[in-house]
Structure 1
């Protein structure tokens, strides 16, 4: 399995070069730099895929059972989505760049932390299919939520610039406000059902294990709260009760709740405690 230091370093160095070429394209509209950045990003995706595939072959399970594996897989999902957006969606170069900056930061922190982590719970077997589906659905939902949050940040920035009549060259790389808001809504619309399904499977696992006291666990309650905040955003969007900037604000608030759910409440959960750093 590619687990030595040089393999991780290669991923980070190639990823950093990809970001540098992408930034050059953002700054100077250099198409050659964009092609180089995209090619390097595809190579990063290939190396990440090799790591995941080799881990699957060695351990006979999809590698999402530890914090290190889950965050690595999360970054792979973000890279996959960014490559797809780069090819199939127009005028989203800035979003693709921001997604990869976030994925690079998460990947770097994850790699430089101690990869010798413990499983999610000693009571749950690594090959448990229910747990695997629960985790992968949660990872996919968080990827959708991050993209939605970045889009909301772009919306608020562009709205402020337009309102103040401050036009800049970087704004030529933005889609229209309506398109940004539409992309945000679609991303949340994808993420929410995935998170609901993930939480439902987690609750089902608790019930099957017979320890219903865990239904009042901090992780379960915080996950339900995150779903509620995103549901409020969707309700406001569907009923048209809020303006675009307020919708962007609520989406960022919902993403903040989701991040707190992931970073903070894992530590206080009786069954969802991951040891990472």
Structure 2
């Protein structure tokens, strides 16, 4: 009975999420403030349902739900919605919610239609530990920061293109100015990089204790350090070299593609993260 209620709750969440993204898209095309307002409250309700789902799932399983790819995707989508709603209310950056939740809805769709792997669930129960939970949670939160940074860079490129082509209009006014978009992208990466570093340190410590025969040249491990490297280079270019503008935004966009490759592809090729695939 619990599984049926959870399934229905999840289906309702996905449907409302789709309507919210659709209304945000209408607002983006036609500058429809009414559609924007309805979309925001729909998304807020989606966040409430997702939070309820996470809470019920934790009560049912007795642990924080991040130990499998199925759980991780859901938590990742929840982080994206939470951050986008928070930033939208605090900074009033138009379209940030739309672009972030296009990404969030894709993650939710992958989560919804991905097969639930029983073996991974059983293995996750065997490998549960506080260290592992903190490692995975911090990694996903860092990915959430990188995701929002990516969205700000996308908005930067759109605004840059509008200004270059002198396309004056409501969309140009509603998107924040270039300096603000670039600054927020940078701040989110400043948050994401140390969180990822701490996550990798905790992950290596856990692996050293629990998996003594683990291969350090595992694809997931290498991919995580590649992600850390490209974002560290971003910070170096921004702080030490004083690089600004379109070039830095393009570097940030390319860096996020590596995040996606590491999250989805390298996890499948990994022999170490076998419970997380």
TM-score by length of 1: 0.91
- 8 Å Cα contact 1:192-1:227 kept in structure 2: yes
2:124 and 2:275 mapped to 1: Cα distance?
A: 13
- 8 Å Cα contact 2:153-2:182 kept in structure 1: yes
Give the superposition deviation at 1:25.
3.4
Number of the residue aligned with 2:58: 56
**Structure 2 residue ranges without an equivalent (≥5):** none
Give the superposition deviation at 1:158.
1.9
User: What pairs up with 1:37-52 in 2 under 5 angstroms?
Assistant: 37-52=39-54
Give the superposition deviation at 1:227.
0.6
CA-based RMSD of the aligned residues comes to: 2.2
Number of the residue aligned with 1:135: 136
Number of the residue aligned with 1:266: 267
- 8 Å Cα contact 2:67-2:276 kept in structure 1: no
Give the superposition deviation at 1:123.
8.1
- 8 Å Cα contact 2:152-2:185 kept in structure 1: yes
- 8 Å Cα contact 2:134-2:199 kept in structure 1: yes
Number of the residue aligned with 1:174: 175
- 8 Å Cα contact 2:68-2:124 kept in structure 1: no
Q: Counterpart of 2:269 in 1: which secondary structure?
A: coil
- 8 Å Cα contact 2:47-2:82 kept in structure 1: yes
User: What pairs up with 1:148-187 in 2 under 5 angstroms?
Assistant: 148-187=149-188
Q: Counterpart of 2:216 in 1: which secondary structure?
A: helix
Bigger fraction of residues in helix: 2
1:30 and 1:267 mapped to 2: Cα distance?
A: 42
**Cα deviations by residue, 1:231-255 (Å, 9 ceiling, x for unpaired):** 0000000024423111111111211
**Cα deviations by residue, 1:119-160 (Å, 9 ceiling, x for unpaired):** 389387353111111111011011111111111122122223
Closer, same or farther: CA 121–160 of 1 in aligned 2, 3 Å: farther
Number of the residue aligned with 1:230: 231
TM-score by length of 2: 0.91
2:233 and 2:260 mapped to 1: Cα distance?
A: 17
1:11 and 1:210 mapped to 2: Cα distance?
A: 38
User: What pairs up with 1:70-89 in 2 under 5 angstroms?
Assistant: 70-89=72-91
2:29 and 2:3 mapped to 1: Cα distance?
A: 35
Give the superposition deviation at 1:169.
3.4
2:214 and 2:182 mapped to 1: Cα distance?
A: 41
Give the superposition deviation at 1:31.
3.7
- 8 Å Cα contact 1:155-1:248 kept in structure 2: yes
- 8 Å Cα contact 2:214-2:272 kept in structure 1: no
**Structure 1 residue ranges without an equivalent (≥5):** none
Residue 250 (str. 1) matches residue 251 (str. 2): yes
Number of the residue aligned with 2:27: 25
1:58 and 1:257 mapped to 2: Cα distance?
A: 34
